[in-house]
Structures are given as C-alpha cells and as structure tokens.
Amino acid sequence: MTITDLKPGEIAIIDEFEAYMPPIKLLELGCLPGSSVEILIEAPMNGPIYVNVNGSHIAIRRTVASQIAVLPFKSTEHE
C-alpha cells in the first residue's frame, strides 16, 4: 500500500521507500519512515497529493507518492 492508495482524511504510517530515494526536501520536511501521514486533498487531473506529515503540509507528486509505502494507522484509544 502506498500514499496514492489512501483517501482524503485517512491516516497511515510511512513504512519505507520502494526502490526509490525521495527528494531530500521531503526528508527535510519530516517525510521519514515512522512518521504519520494524513491525506488532505488530491488535486484533480493527476495533480499532486497534499498531505500532513507530522504537522507539515506538503504537496507530493503522484509519481513520488506511489513510491512511498505506508502502513494503516491503528488507534490505541478505546472507544
């Protein structure tokens, strides 16, 4: 599962980069394994995906987002 598989409002944890090293700028902004990522908006016409990574709002190209593997977020809170 990658960032492109998520829908707006969904939260996941970055697992790894699939045979791809993302731009250094993404790493500097906190897009690292173990970080939470929330999908904010998907731009139309295959535009970028806007995400919240640990409080930073970042636009990621779909080609880059498709190379970032994520794990579903599981809340530890009891309802």
pLDDT for 19 = 67
pLDDT for 79 = 47
The answer to whether 13 and 37 have CB atoms below 8 angstroms apart is yes
Domain segments of the chain: what residues?
3-72
Within its chain, how far is the Cα of 42 from the centroid? 12
Asked if residue 76 has pLDDT above 60, the reply is no
**pLDDT tens digits, 8-53:** 999 999 998 876 677 888 888 888 899 999 999 999 998 999 999 9
Using the structure block, give the residue that is written with the tokens 């599981």. 74
- Determine whether domain 3-72 maps to CATH 2.30.30.90: yes
What type of residue is 19? A
> d(Cα 78, Cα 60) in Å, to the nearest integer?
33
| End-to-end C-alpha distance for the chain, whole angstroms | 27
